[in-house]
Chains A and B, each alone.
Chain A
Amino acid sequence: MKNYKIQIVSVFSFMLISIIGCIEPFETTNLTFEDVLVIEGRLTNENKFHTIKLSRTFQIDSTDPSPERNAKVSVIEDGTIVHNFTEQEAGVYTTDNSFSAKANTIYQLKIETQNGKTYSSTDQNLTETAEVEAINFKVTKKQFEDEDEVEITVNSFSNNADAKYFFYEYEETYQIVSRFWSSFTLDTSVYPPLAVKRADPEFGRVCYGTNVSSEILQAETSNLSENRVVDFKIRSIPPTDFILRDRYSILVKQYVQTLNAYSYFEILDKFSTSENVFAQSQVSFIQGNIFSDTDPEEKVIGFFEVNSVATKRLFFNKEDVLQNQFSDFPETCEPRVIPKFGNFGSRPLEEAIQEGYIFYNFGDSGLTDVDDMNDLPFVMVKRPCGDCTVFGSNVKPDFWID
């Protein structure tokens, strides 16, 4: 329970008074469920296979999204050219051809669901362009708290008068180097197991993890004298986060939105975060730009956009930002010497392997021959300490610059 606790000492009575303005989780019961089609997707001016996601709303207490399958999805260009989409995985529809959205062209989304209902969006045009000028990082104090945070900000600029509303996505990739990596791995087909050279000599040493943004990140310049976004905070990372341990990269995508689309996402975001304890926004269903062709009262969730997009990538190493601070490794790593046989015929090493320990080294034995060393007790570590594939892919991304 999260309490905003206030304590007052009454000056003249030595009495302790506590006012508790309290916020606590609330169990929702007896909520009626409404089954509504949810449409997520946009065209951009990138030449690529564009994707539209279809799903249906699901129960509050459920965790399973329900994809909308077997729908016919298409985008009509200028009322004549039809771009068809094909369902690639459950509820994810991708264009059959790659193309980029063009300026001064009208696009309309058309959907026919498997129950035969049809939906159309209003006509959309490609938005004006704006460029991402810079992505910066710095360490600052977290707002209202004593802790530091690494803040990543975006600056952008546009000469186009209509590029005033921005939607951001990011994709961060972090390099993670195993702390207790070994070029040996265990052959467990025999007991005691034998340490053998890895087939892939670099496997599990350096990996790359990726996260994509899941918040609604928006900025606008409508009341500014120029269309310049300055130091818009797109990501904040606690310095102790392991993703900063080695090398970090972030790709920022900036979509230029229309006012209507911006408002739609702004309200969506507003209705899912509380502003203050005393005033509650009046919430209700938010109407997007997609409607049922047959029943005007049917609720449809989503906003079909055609955005211009700009991207920029940033790299930095841990030393660039944090000199005196250690990022936590996500696992406590203490190499342990584990004998192969214990008392009464027990097999401590076998138990450790079953618990997830992997081979680290042979200890400081002075021996040079592997066969000799295989007779020694092994030094073992927990798997995340010696095999970074737990956190990411062993494959270096194409864009990665060391």
Chain B
Amino acid sequence: MKRALLSLIFLVTFLKLSSQNTKIDIEFNNLSKLEAIELIEKKTNYRFFFIKDWLDTEKINGTFNNKDITEILDHIFGTTNINFHITKNNQVILTNGSLIRKTVFEEDQKNNYHAPIITDEDSYVVGKEKQERQDFYKLSGRIKSKKNNQPLEGVTIFEREKNIFTTTTKNGFYSLELPYGKNYIEVSASGFSRDSRALVVHSDGNLNFSLKEKNEELDEVVIDAKRNFNVKQTVAGITQIKAKDIKTIPQVLGERDILKAVVTLPGIKSAGEGSEGVNVRGGKVDQNLFLLDEGVMYNPTHFLGLFSAINPFTTEDLNVYKGNTPAEYGGRISSVFDINTKDASTEKFKGEASIGPVTGNLSLEVPIIKDKSGLLVGARSTYSDWILNILDDKKLANSSASFQDAILKYNHEFDKNNTLKITGYYSNDEFQIASDSLNSYNNTIVTANWFHKFNDKNKGNLILSNSNYEFGIDFEGNQNRNFDLNYNINETGLKLKLQYLHSKKHQFVYGLESKLYNVSPGSINPKGQNSVVTPLNIPKEKGIENGIFISDAFKVNDKLAIDLGLRFSQYVSLGPTSQRIYQDNLPRNQSSLLNTVERDNFEIFNTYQGLSYRLSARYLLNDDLSVKAGVNKLFQYIHRLSNNTTASPLDTWRLSDHNIKPQEGTQFSLGVFQNFDNSNYELSVEGYYKKYENLLDFKTGANLLLNETIETEVLQGPGKSYGVEFLIRKKAGRLNGWLGYTYARSLIQLDGNFNEEIVNNGKFFPTNYDKPHSLDIIMNYKLTERYSISSNFSYQTGRPITYPTGKFIFQGSEFLNYSNRNAFRIPDYYRLDIGINIEGNHKIKKFAHSFWNISVYNVLGRNNPYSIFFETVNGNVTGFKSSIFSTPIPTITYNFRF
């Protein structure tokens, strides 16, 4: 049909639009439309071109004497969506809704300009096209459950791009004002699978949905981006992952992990198995803002980075902004990971559970007040330390590791205009690996988000959040120096975000945000009576980060859209503190310390401010092809201090002050986005260049924990990263998945006036996470409705490393002299995982719906080096390589939902 339509359009381009004067006598006596057309063809020399499916069965009656053909056709098709066009050769071309124009880009001066609508077979046509148009038409209908045909209340119907939405009434009815032309409607209700429909709105119309219950659904689409959304969205570099969609990706130790899924996408990398955090487009690990329901998550991983601390069962989706960060976010210069928790069902008690070799996971949705409020509870825990206990290495057998996380979310809809959501989150890790010290760390997050709709054009959110991250080391050796060490960071944030839907052309988001940071950078206290450890408290740090932002999604015309965002960002350092002032032009140390100024509580002693801009533009070359560009600048006032080559949970976060400058990042990006085969394939190529100022690094061998004068160890320098990302994705069909390839570099320069401040002679050198080539292929093949096979292949260039360039004898032992920093690389990383997913049977009456996952991680048994290090053993230097998972690891997990 698509072909037919295109050829029609082609045909029309050289036909004249003139009416015929032949008069006709005809009589219809209870004829179907097809029969009526056949009758006209029989009696006249008009010939009709159409598709039979367009015609309904409504009977035609009427007598026409000496009438024009148009009058007769108006009578026949007047109440339907069919438009007709008569050529001078007496050909009658019927179209389903569309008006026929001379060219695709014909303009109609009499009416408001509307781009011609190029439909394809998936689009549902509402009404028929008329010469005179309104801006908006009313779409109404009824939404029912497919299972029992009951009307559904509270179903959301929305046109995401245009921000138009409504919900169904008690009897399942809805009506929605939609602009003329193409719209993309999504229908969602919790417990039901999402439905979506591309619409062409020509006039008022009716559209009914019947929704499938989620339990009946089988996922075949692994990552669900909205059709054509990737092409049309103004901002580039956004990735959305839905938690439910990642279950077919093979997993390590059976843990479904949204962060592990994210790192298979271009531009997002992790340092390796067992390392914390991700590096986004060549940025440092601390430059990513992890938000769980708007609360900051300082450590989103468990067990030294092997598992993510985000419960997959309670997570709705994750949006990653790696290109252009919306103006409403600030404080980190590389990316935003916006994690949204599910809303609990307000109708039905539901649950989901899984059993894997490492953890058990349970989540429940409990309606509190029917149709108004619900409570989501999720909890996850390791069974015990039994894995480590059965190790045959004595060192590790005496080790222990365990983790837990729990989430609670309450959502309450007071009325249509007021909704309150409260989220509480806690995660905890404890581990003791071959040492006397018990390490532990935990995150606590509480957020409250009040949504209020002022009117159809104005709405807003008021968000209050508190986030706490702390870690401790509990040391018990045999000597006189047992201690307790603690670190804590706490932030309280208030954010007001308002949206103003000014017009079709302008949509504004504006607001302000303020955050109070309280950092206890470390304290150590003696433990036990024999301990002679002196208690030490590094003085607390306090600061306020303010932001005021406005952005306008400006649709210049149908092709060009611009997103303009500005954020004025300010950071003030607050007392109480002892402000240390050092002599300029000297390395900071005890001898260059000029004086120490005591500051009172809440006394402002230092301020940084700057204008952060976020600009992006999209130009549609055609419906399936667009070019996007962006430039943005961001500031970061909080820094994670680490002098390990990879991040660890015991890294401390510290605040900027007069001695430690904020980090700045500027990114330029350009991308081309193309969809083809009816949007089943998405193809994108994006390039970026990022500049950094004041990246943090440290003097060689610096001690960062419990350091009272951390500024004497800090080095700050510029950095740059650049790269090209290529992604091709097949979204549907028996075989689906994606292939991503990235070429990227990340460099830093540490140059100073003094020997101790210079690294690699002051030249740019690769960062620890610089990995030029990376390739990821994720594939999922559906054998039957119940069985599917998935695979994940990953390749990365080995990360940079500092190798020894010689050795020497000192004190009777051999020691190493090292090369310039990061002059070498560890061997390349590659890994293949394979998984088989088996859905339980689909009997509707069944109590629970089950799902098995059998997966083998690292099928090739590749011994990927995680690190290379050198040790002096018995006076001789030996090189070692360590790897975390060096053999294939099969696992089985069992999930069920009820």
Chain A contacts of B480 at CB under 8 A? 228, 230-231
Given A60-B877, A271-B816, A299-B817, decide whether A6 and B870 contact each other with a Cβ distance below 8 A: no
Return the contact of A271 from the options B818, B875, B887 (Cβ within 8 A).
B818
State in angstroms the CA–CA spacing of A77 and B813 once bound together: 30
Which of chain B's residues have a CB closer than 8 A to the CB of A267? 700-701
Is there contact, CB below 8 Å, between A19 and B889?
yes
A237-278 CB mask vs B (1 if < 8 Å, else 0) is 000000000000000000000000001001110111110111
Partner of A231 from B479, B534, B882, B887 at Cβ < 8 Å: B479
Q: Which residues of A contact B207 (CB under 8 A)?
A: none
Knowing A225-B532, A276-B434, A277-B274, say if A286 contacts B700 (CB, 8 Å): yes
Q: Which residues of A contact B804 (CB under 8 A)?
A: 28, 31, 60
Chain A residues near B808 (CB-CB < 8 A): 36, 38, 55-58, 65, 301
Out of A33, A145, A228, A281, name the residue touching B806 (CB < 8 Å): A33
| A270 / chain B contacts, CB cutoff of 8 Å | 701
Interface stretch, picked from A123-131, A212-220, A353-361, is: A212-220
Q: Is B875's CB under 8 angstroms from A214's CB?
A: yes
Q: Is the CB–CB distance between A10 and B882 below 8 Å?
A: no
- What CA separation (Å) do A271 and B304 show in the bound complex? 22
- Which residues on the B side are within 8 Å of A266 (C-beta)? 701
Q: Are A22 and B883 in contact (CB under 8 A)?
A: yes
Q: Is the CB of B812 within 8 A of A280?
A: no
CB closest chain-B residue, reference A299: B817
- Chain B residues with Cβ below 8 Å from A230 are 479-481, 532
Does B885 lie at the interface of the complex (its beta carbon under 8 Å from any beta carbon of A)?
Answer: yes
Contact with B along A23-34 (1 / 0, CB 8 A): 111111001111
Query: In the complex, which residues of chain B have a beta carbon less than 8 angstroms from the beta carbon of A287?
Result: 700, 755-756
Residues of B within 8 A of A20 (CB): 885-887
Q: Which of B37-45, B48-56, B642-650, B840-848 contacts A (4 or more CB under 8 A)?
A: B642-650
- In the complex, chain A residues 137-178 whose Cβ is within 8 Å of any chain B Cβ: 140, 143-146, 169
**Nearest Cβ in chain A — how far from B653, in angstroms?**
17
* CB <8 Å contact, A272 and B870: yes
Contact B806 A22 (CB under 8 A): no
Closest beta carbon of chain A to B838's beta carbon, Å: 13
The reply to whether B819 and A32 contact each other, CB–CB distance below 8 Å, is yes
Of B478, B532, B644, B706, the residue contacting A281 (CB under 8 A) is B644
Query: A285 to chain B: closest CB distance in Å?
Result: 5
Chain B residues with CB below 8 A from A35, complex form: 806
Chain A residues, Cβ within 8 Å of B872: 272-273
Question: Are B807 and A60 interface neighbours, CB within 8 A?
Answer: yes
| Interface set, chain B 848-890, CB cutoff 8 A to A | 863, 865-872, 875, 877-887, 889-890
Interface residue B524 (Cβ < 8 Å from any Cβ of A): yes
Please pick, from A17, A25, A213, A277, the residue contacting B357 in the complex, using a CB distance under 8 A: A17
Asked if B22 lies at the interface with its beta carbon under 8 angstroms from chain A, I say no
From B892, which residue of chain A is reached at the shortest CB distance? A13
Q: Are A223 and B536 in contact (CB under 8 A)?
A: yes
**Are A272 and B877 touching (Cβ within 8 A)?**
yes
B805 vs chain A, min Cβ distance (A): 4
Residue from the set B392, B706, B761, B870 with the largest chain A CB neighbour count within 10 Å? B870
Selected interface stretch from B5-13, B134-142, B393-401: B393-401
Could you tell me the distance between the alpha carbons of A11 and B765 in the complex, rounded to whole angstroms? Answer: 49
How distant is the Cα of A188 from the Cα of B274 in the complex, in angstroms?
67
Is the Cβ of B648 less than 8 Å from the Cβ of A284?
A: no
Contact for A278 among B648, B865, B880, B894, CB less than 8 A: B648
Residues of A within 8 A of B478 (CB): 140, 231
B residues within 8 A CB of A3?
A: 393
Which of the candidate stretches B222-230, B383-391, B422-430, B660-668 sits at the interface with the other chain? B383-391
CA distance in complex: A272, B874 (Å): 12
Contact A38 B810 (CB under 8 A): yes
Collect the chain B residues with CB atoms within 8 Å of residue A7's CB.
Answer: 390-392
> A47 — which chain B residues lie within 8 A by C-beta?
none
A283 at the interface (CB under 8 A from B): yes
Which A residues touch B816, using CB under 8 A? 60, 271-272
Q: Which residues of B contact A285 (CB under 8 A)?
A: 700, 817-818, 820
User: Judging by beta carbons under 8 Å apart, are B881 and A282 in contact?
Assistant: no
Cβ-based interface call for B611 (8 A): no
Closest to A16 in B: B890
The CA-CA distance from A276 to B433 in the complex, in Å, is: 8
Chain B contacts for A331, CB-based, 8 A: none
The residues of A that contact B871 with a CB separation of less than 8 Å are: 272-274
Which residues of chain B come closer than 8 Å to A225, judged between CB atoms?
532, 534
With CB as the reference atom, state the residue of chain A lying closest to B431. Answer: A278
- Asked whether, in the complex, the Cβ of A21 is within 8 Å of the Cβ of B882, the reply is yes
In the complex, per-residue mask of B773-811: 1 if CB is within 8 Å of any chain A CB, else 0: 000000000000000000000000000001111111111
Query: Is B408 located at the chain interface by the 8 A CB criterion?
Result: no
B701 contacts A15, C-beta separation under 8 Å? no
Answer yes or no: A351 CB below 8 A from chain B CBs.
no
Smallest CB gap from B761: residue in A: A297
Q: Contact at B391–A17, with CB atoms within 8 Å?
A: no
Question: Is B865 in contact with A12, judged by CB distance below 8 angstroms?
Answer: no
Q: Tell me which residues across on chain B come within 8 A of A299, comparing CB atoms.
A: 817
Q: In the complex, A365→B261 CA distance in Å?
A: 85
Complex Cα distance, B398 from A31, in Å, reads 37
Least CB distance from A333 to B in Å reads 26
**Taking the complex as formed, is B675 at the interface, i.e. its CB lies under 8 A from any CB of chain A?**
no
Task: Please state if A27 and B755 are interface contacts (CB–CB under 8 Å).
Answer: no
Measured CB to CB, the closest approach of chain A to B704, in angstroms, equals 11
Query: Which residues of B are found within 8 Å of A274, using beta-carbon distances?
Result: 869, 871, 880, 882
Is A59 in the interface zone, CB < 8 Å from B?
yes
Q: Is the CB of A224 within 8 A of B644?
A: no
Q: Max chain B CB contacts within 10 Å: which of A60, A231, A276?
A: A60
Q: Write the residues of chain B forming the contact surface with A, with a CB cutoff of 8 angstroms.
A: 253, 274-275, 304-305, 355, 357, 387-388, 390-396, 398, 433-436, 478-481, 524, 532-534, 536, 643-646, 648, 698, 700-701, 706, 755-756, 759, 761, 768, 802-813, 815-821, 824, 863, 865-872, 875, 877-887, 889-892, 894
Please provide the 7 A-B residue pairs with the shortest distance between their CB atoms, ordered closest to farther: A267-B701, A57-B806, A214-B812, A26-B881, A230-B480, A272-B872, A26-B879
Known: A26-B881, A216-B811, A284-B759. 12 other contacts (CB 8 A): A19-B253, A26-B865, A65-B809, A144-B398, A215-B813, A223-B706, A267-B701, A268-B815, A273-B871, A276-B434, A278-B305, A285-B700
Can you report 17 residue pairs joining A to B where beta carbons are below 8 Å apart?
A5-B393, A6-B388, A19-B885, A19-B889, A21-B885, A23-B880, A25-B881, A26-B879, A32-B819, A144-B394, A214-B875, A273-B872, A274-B882, A277-B867, A277-B884, A287-B700, A301-B808
